[in-house]
Structure 1
Amino acid sequence: MSLISIREILKDAQDRKYIVGYFEAWDYGSLNATVRAAEEMKSAIIIGFGGRSFETPVGWDEVKLASFASVGKIMAQNSSVPTAFILNEVEDLGIIKKGIKLGFNSVMFDGSSLSLEENIKLTRKVVKEAAKIGIDVEGQVGRIPSTGERIEKNFLTSPEEAAYFVEKTGVSALAISVGNIHMATDEESSIDLGLLEEINRLTSVPLVMHGGTGFPDTLVKEVINRGVCKFNVGTILKEVFLREVKKTLEKIDLSKADFQELLGSNNQADVFRKGYFAVKEVVKEKLKLYSSPMI
C-alpha cells in the first residue's frame, strides 16, 4: 500500500463515509506506534509532525525537519496500509517549501490568523508551489481556540468565506472552526452541527476537524454525515505516553536500576516502550471510533 496522497485517502473517506485519523507524532517511537496501530487495524492513516516540533527560540531547526521528513517518508513507504505524510500547522512559507522538498507528501498552511484575502493569497502560493510535484495542501478558515480560551463568535468559520476560500485557493482539504478546541483533554467541545452542515453544503472538499482529543465521541457519526473526513489527534497521545512513563518510573529503584535496560533497549524493561504501547492502543481505539474500514 505504502505512501499515497492525502487527496486519495480523503476522497475514499468522503465517498464511503468514514474518518481518516491524523495522529501527530513527536519522535520516531510515537510515529512507529501510530503506523503499527494502523497496520494491526488494517486501516488507512495519516502520519506526520506539527510545525511546532521544529521551532526553537532562535528560529527553525532545519536539520531536525530534514531528519524527521526522511524517517516519516521511509516509514510511510514501508507501511502495509495506505499512509499519507503531512507537515501540519505551519505559518511560515519558507518552512512549508522546505517540507515539500524534503518528502512530506502533504502540508497544512495555517493562515487563520490573517485576513481572509491575505490567507487566500498565501495559501494559493503554497498550492501553486506544491502542485509542481503533486503535493496536497490543507488550508484553514476560522480560528480554532486552545483549551481554556473563550470561543468568540468571530472565531467560527463562515460558510460563505469557506466556499470562497476553497474556490480561490484550490486546497485539497479544509480545516474549520465549528466549536472544536485545540489541546483539550476532556470532551469539552460544543460543536455547531448546523454551521458544519452549511459549510459542507457550500464546499466540495473534505473537511478537517482539528482538536480531536477533546471532541465528543457521541458526535463522530454526526460530523461524518456532514462532510468531515479527517480528524487531527495529538494531545491525548502525549498524555497517555507521559502517564504510562510516569507510572513505570515510580516503580523503579534507581539505585539498583540497569540503565541500559531501562532506556534504549526496546525490551520489556524499557520505560519508553510502555509509553509507546499506550499510544498505539489509543490510536487503535480512535480508528474504531472513526469507522475506518479494513483494507
Structure 2
Amino acid sequence: MPLVTTDRILAERRVAAAFNVIQLEHAEAIVAGAESAASPVVLQISENAAKYHGALAPIALASRRIAETANIDVALHLDHAESEALVREALRLGFTSVMFDAATSPYDENVSRTAQMVAEAHEHGAWVEAELGEIGGKDGAHAPGVRTDPDEAVAFVEATGVDALAVAVGSSHAMTSRDAALDLDLIASLREAVPVPLVLHGSSGVADADIRRAIDAGMRKINVSTHLNSIMTAAVRDALASNERLVDPRKYLAPGRDAVAREVTRLCEVIS
C-alpha cells in the first residue's frame, strides 16, 4: 500500500501508535505486529538511528519498502531531527512526516527554524511535529520535572504552523522501567488549549494503564522505542544463552524480531 501521512491515521483513529526503527528487524517486526492487530502504524527513524547506519537512506529505503508492502496504512516518520539537511533528505526519500527538533535553540531561533521546515515539508505534502523543549532524558531543557506551559504551546503552534506538538508532561526518554508519573491534568489543559494533536515522547517509561489515561486525557500520538529494544534484547539473550555454539545471527535475531512483533500487536491494542 502507498505510504500515508500521520494525519491520515489520526483522521481514522483517535490516536496513532508510533514505534522506532533501529535496524531492519525492527521495521519488519513493527509492521508484522501492526498487521496482526489490524492497526495502522507509524514507522519512526531518528537522527541517531541514521547516524548508526552511517546515513539515512539505507535504513529509510528498506523501511519504506517494508511499509509499502504492508496490508495496513503505514506512515514513515523522521524522529528528532536536529538538522535541516536531514529533514530535506527525508522529504526527498519520501517520508510522509517529520519531527524537526530545534528545542535546544533559543525560543526565537526555534520558532524561525521550525517555521521554515514546516513550509518546506508542507510543499512535499508532509506532516510536521515539533517541540518547545527537549523531553526528559536527552540532557536538555526538559528534565523529567519540567512541564509544557499551555500558553507557550499555543503561541509556538501559531508562530510555526506545526501539525503536532510534543509536550513535556512527566515522561522521559530511554526509561527501562515503566513507572513514569504523567500529569494528566496538564495533558487535559494542553488538549483544550492547543489546536493540533499532542505527542507523548518517552512512552516506554509509561505503564499501559497510564498510556490509556493519557490518551483519554488528550494525547494523540504515542511514541515507543526503548521498551521494544528491551524486548528484543531479552529475546536475543535467551537465544544465545540456550546455545553457546550459536553463531548465525539469524538464529538469535529472529526470536528478537518475533518478540517485538508480539509486543507491537499488544501495544497497538493498548494504544487505541
* TM-score of the superposed pair, with normalisation by structure 1: 0.86
Spell out the pairing of 1:104-253 with structure 2 (5 A cutoff): 104-146=95-137, 151=143, 153=145, 155-253=146-244
Aligned in 2, Cα 1:276/1:108: closer, same or farther, shift over 3 Å? same
Is 1:81 equivalent to 2:72 in the alignment? Answer: yes
> Aligned-pair distance for 1:217?
1.9
Report the equivalent of 1:282: 263
The residue type equivalent to 2:249 in the other structure is L
1:48 aligns with 2:44: yes
Deviations 1:119-167 (CA, angstroms, capped at 9, x unpaired): 11111111111111111111112331119999465x3211011111111
Contact 1:11 1:206 in 2 (8 A): no
Per-residue Cα deviation, 1:214-269 (whole angstroms, up to 9, x for no partner): 11222223222222111110001111111111111112142xx5x4xx334xxxxx
Report whether the alignment pairs 1:263 with 2:249: yes
Q: Deviations over 1:54-75 (max 9, x none)?
A: 226xxx933xx11222112222
CA distance in 2, matches of 1:176, 1:211: 10
Q: Give the aligned residue type for 2:184.
A: L
Deviations for 1:70-119, whole angstroms, at most 9, x for unmatched residues?
11222222211111000100111111111111121111111221222211
Number of residue-to-residue matches in the alignment: 271
Asked if the contact 2:6/2:16 (under 8 Å) is kept, the reply is no
What is the distance in 2 between the residues matched to 1:223 and 1:168? 26
Tell me the SS of whatever aligns to 1:225: helix
Query: Cα distance 1:170–1:147, how it changes in 2: closer, same or farther (>3 A)?
Result: closer
Separation in 1 of the partners of 2:221 and 2:155? 21
Look up the match of 2:94.
103
Answer whether contact 2:33 2:264 (CA < 8 A) is retained.
yes
Amino acid at match of 2:187: L
Residue 37 of structure 1, aligned match among 24, 33, 39: 33
**Partner Cα separation in structure 2 for residue 236 and residue 92 of structure 1:** 26
SS of the counterpart of 1:46? strand
SS of the residue 1:213 aligns to:
helix
SS in 2 for 1:103: coil
Q: Identity, % of aligned pairs?
A: 29
Q: Is the 8 A contact 1:69 1:103 kept in 2?
A: no
**Letter matched to residue 123 of structure 1:** T
Q: TM-score, normalised by structure 2?
A: 0.93
Q: Report deviation, 1:175.
A: 0.6
Partner amino acid, structure 2, of 1:5:
T
CA distance in 1: counterparts of 2:243 and 2:211, whole angstroms: 40
Which residues of structure 1 form unaligned runs of 5+? Answer: 265-269
Q: Which position in structure 2 is the counterpart of 1:267?
A: none
SS in 2 for 1:224: helix
- Which structure 2 segments of 5+ residues have no match? none
- Residue 54 of structure 2: which of 53, 57, 61 is its match? 61
Matches of 1:209 and 1:166 in 2, distance apart? 16
Q: Structure 2 CA distance, aligned partners of 1:128 and 1:8?
A: 19
